Amino acid sequence: MENFRNYETGDIALEDGVNVFIGENAQGKTNALEAIYFLAMGKSHRTAKDSECIRSTASRASIRGEITVKEHPHTLQIDITPNGKRASVNGVSQSKMTDFLGHFQVVLFAPEDLQLVKGSPGVRRRFIDMELGQTHPKYLYHLTQYNRVLQQRNTLLKQATVDWDYIGVFDEQLAEHGAEVTLRRHRFIEEMKKYASDIHEHIAHGRETLCIAYQPSIRTESDFTLETVTSLTSQYLRLLQTKRQQDFQTRHTTVGPHRDDMAFFIDDQSVQSFASQGQQRTVALAIRLAEIEFIHQEVGDYPVLLLDDVLSELDDQRQTNLIISMHDRVQTVITTTSLAPFHGMLEGQMRLFHVHSGIITG
Ligand SMILES: Nc1ncnc2c1ncn2[C@@H]1O[C@H](COP(=O)(O)OP(=O)(O)OP(=O)(O)O)[C@@H](O)[C@H]1O
């Protein structure tokens, strides 16, 4: 890291197993995690304004990582200036951020993850989009196109007289990209379902059964099928055409992936409405851990697991189970203010880094 957040420079060599960043509050632990996340996702998990990551006394920031995925080493770099960011892979500048993504995968579990369960549908759509963006760059292409056409269609719907021929052209494009997005989301949730319910059962000691359901906006149609892109495209197109009058009255597009959601159930009861805080937290954790398995399946290697100050939210047994289950398979980086959760671990099973005022010592 160079001039990233409170780091003037920072250089860390992470171990394969569990790496622990320990330090008091506001020393730079999360900042270091954020830098790793940035290299995988091309953006911060904390801010939409990249320039906030530039050290307050500097004019640009850089993050560089030497990453090995499936035994192939490569160097990823992101340079951030107040006017934008530039990403490169092995020294070659990438013209589009979507070309940069997919080289390195991370899974982050942070206290805000409770929002995955409790938050608005937009939070869950963002979660799906981030995951699929990491593993299926083509998905991001369709999503970007979909959002672009959606915006154009909505602009047209807001005009005093609507040009329906134009809307017809947009409908075709929306249906085509919307079908790709929907089908990929459907397949993703089908995969996540299997992993998350097994993991959840393990964490909850087999007492509760978790089920995840995709709720595509198109589901209101009784005859829709999620089998092929072609059939879904024509179903979308039909639906867009039948909703035209409603869209005209509300002045925006009322059906499509921008209205999708996903739902969680424990023993057939909605987690969003009925579960306790502890149950909701366990569901959020199970989903994050399921992501690890999903990425492994899709990419052929494990992602790096980033745990930001979340151990203190789990009881002792769960903390230890989590660390031990990750330690020999998944490279993990944990931030913490206390070593108490690690006392059960054997010497040599983790690498400790002390973080103090933007300086990391190992
Ligand atoms: N752009 C920036 N330039 C300089 N310092 C920054 C910048 N952005 C954040 N900081 C500083 O970084 C510090 C916060 O670091 P960080 O969020 O990593 O804390 P932490 O060690 O994870 O603490 P906690 O345990 O409270 O989560 C704050 O002191 C903040 O002022």
From 33-42, 145-154, 282-291, the region with the lowest mean pLDDT: 282-291
pLDDT confidence of 346, banded at 50, 70, 90?
A: low
Instruction: Give domain status of residue 146, yes or no.
Output: yes
- 322 pLDDT more than 80: no
Residues contacting ligand 1 via CB (< 6 Å): 5-6, 23, 25-31, 52, 54-56, 309, 335, 337, 355
Q: Do the domain assignments include residue 252?
A: yes
Nearest 5°: CA angle at 330, between 20 and 17? 45
What sign for the dihedral angle of Cα 330, 334, 339, 340? Answer: negative
**Phi–psi pair at 12, nearest 5 degrees:** -130, 140
Distance from C-alpha of 356 to C-alpha of 71, rounded to nearest angstrom = 33
67 is a domain residue? no
Band of the pLDDT at 15, cuts 50, 70, 90? very high
Ligand 1 centroid to 55 CA: how many Å? Answer: 10
What residues form DSSP beta bridges with 69? Answer: 72
Predicted local distance difference test score (pLDDT) of residue 221: 57
Q: Whose CA is nearest to atom 15 of ligand 1?
A: 28
**Any domain includes 295:** yes
Residue 232 has pLDDT above 60, yes or no: yes
Nearest CA to ligand 1 atom 7: 5
- Residues 119-136 have a mean pLDDT of 92
Which pLDDT band, with edges at 50, 70 and 90, does 343 fall under?
A: confident
- C-alpha distances in angstroms, 344 versus 324, 348, 349? 9, 12, 10
DSSP state of 303: P
**Tens of pLDDT, residues 43-72:** 999 999 999 999 999 999 999 999 999 999
Q: Is residue 69 part of a domain?
A: no
As for how many domains the chain has, the answer is 1
Indicate the pLDDT class of residue 219, thresholds 50, 70 and 90.
Answer: confident
Mean pLDDT for 286-299 is 91
| Residue 17 lies inside a defined structural domain of this protein | no
CB atoms within 10 A of CB 276: 10
The greatest distance separating any two alpha carbons of the chain, rounded to the nearest whole angstrom, comes to: 72
User: Does residue 223 register a pLDDT over 80?
Assistant: no
CATH of the domain at 294: 1.20.1050.90
SS (H, E, C) 232-257: HHHHHHHHHHHCHHHHHHHCCCCCCH
Residue list, annotated binding site: 23-30
Q: Is the pLDDT of residue 143 over 60?
A: yes
Give me the domain span that covers residue 260. Answer: 112-300
Dihedral over Cα of 273, 279, 281, 283: its sign: negative
Residue of 7, 12, 31, 355 to test ligand 1 pocket, by largest number of atoms within 8 Å of CB:
31
- Residue 258 covered by a domain: yes
Q: Is residue 145 part of a domain?
A: yes
- pLDDT at residue 345 in the model: 66
For the CA of 33, the nearest atom of ligand 1:
18
For ligand 1, what atom is nearest to the CA of residue 335? 22
**DSSP β-ladder status, 359-361 and 210-215:** unpaired
